[in-house]
Amino acid sequence: MWTSNLLGIVTSMIVGLGVTGAGADVPPPAASQITPAPAVYEELKIARQDVTGDGRPDLVTLLGKRFAADSPYYDKLKVMVQDPVARKVSFFHTTYGGYQPEMSFCDFTGNKTKQIWIQAPTGGSGGTSDFYLFSDKDNTPAVLPVPPSLTITGAYQDGYKVPITIKETNQTTVLDLSDRKDIYEENGVYKNGKLVQPTEVMPNTFSVLRPVEVRDGTCELLGEQRVSGVANADTIAYVQSRWKWENNGWKLLSAQVKKAER
């Protein structure tokens, strides 16, 4: 029901004007040639991965600026890609910050070059995260879309039943929550199995979007959204989904509702 705004801003600049002959090997840059991270940002993750597609490792750094000196929250995040062969640097900026952000690499689009995947937990009680996908193939920075959260609806019915519907698949799963009837009766949600007042479920955005490599060497995404019942702490279900990049966007392969254990 909520869709994260996962757009980013990309900038790219050329550093250095050196020219080499065709086919010549370019030696790794000296430490003095590597652009230092911006002073107000901390280096959170550093990796050597070929994300430009030239067959040679680039230096990819996840940078964060803390909200305050003693805060665990980074209110600004950016990714710096340094290509020592082309002597280019690209910057990617996330829309939001996060706690303990993670960076990984995989070929999601099937173009034989890895993209950069960022997960940034929001720190809220819903346990959700923001996700970003960046491409720098041929030193051409691009922000790629991520799968949208599924539209999940449902409302409590008499007899402790809750039908959960996924709009995108037109699939409905009926949950039997009679194992929670004592709590619901005590808190006035039900009276002798009869619903006291209309109560709708509360779906969250993705808490998980995990890359998984498949047989052809590309990566798909496994998503999970938590569904709360009468209160945020009343987790009644998880909606799991699988996504594949196809025709310049994400295709939903499957989705299912799993009842949460009490």
Residue carrying structure tokens 């959170």: 44
Instruction: For residue 23, name the pLDDT band (cuts at 50, 70, 90).
Output: very low
Q: Please write down the HEC assignment for all residues of 111-149.
A: CCCCEEEEEEECCCCCCCEEEEEEECHHHCCEEECCCCC
pLDDT over 80 (residue 168): yes
According to the model, what pLDDT value does residue 126 have? 83
Nearest residue to 51 (alpha-carbon basis) of 7, 91, 93, 107: 107
Confidence of residue 180 (pLDDT cuts 50, 70, 90): very high
**Residue 24 corresponds to which amino acid?**
A
Task: Give strand pairing partners of 154.
Answer: 164
Identity (one letter) of the amino acid at 159?
A: G
Taking alpha carbons only, the member of 236, 245, 244, 210 closest to residue 224 is 210
Task: Determine how many CB atoms are found less than 10 A away from the CB of residue 24.
Answer: 8
**One-letter amino acid identity for 257?**
V
Cα distance between residue 212 and residue 222, in whole Å:
7
Residues 236, 228 contacting (CB under 8 angstroms): yes
Three-state DSSP state, 1: coil
13-17, 30-34, 66-70, range with the lowest pLDDT: 13-17
C-alpha–C-alpha distance, residues 168 and 94, integer Å? 27
Q: What is the pLDDT of residues 94-141, one digit of tens each?
A: 999 999 999 999 999 999 999 999 999 999 888 999 999 999 999 999
- For the beta carbon of residue 153, count every other beta carbon within 10 angstroms: 15
Q: What is the pLDDT of residue 36?
A: 55
Query: 173: Cβ–Cβ under 8 A, 6 or more apart, which residues?
Result: 163, 164, 237, 256, 257
Q: pLDDT tens digits for 51-100?
A: 999 999 999 999 999 998 889 999 999 999 999 999 999 999 999 999 99
Q: How confident is the model at residue 30 (pLDDT cuts 50, 70, 90)?
A: low
The domains of the chain are located at: 9-144, 152-259
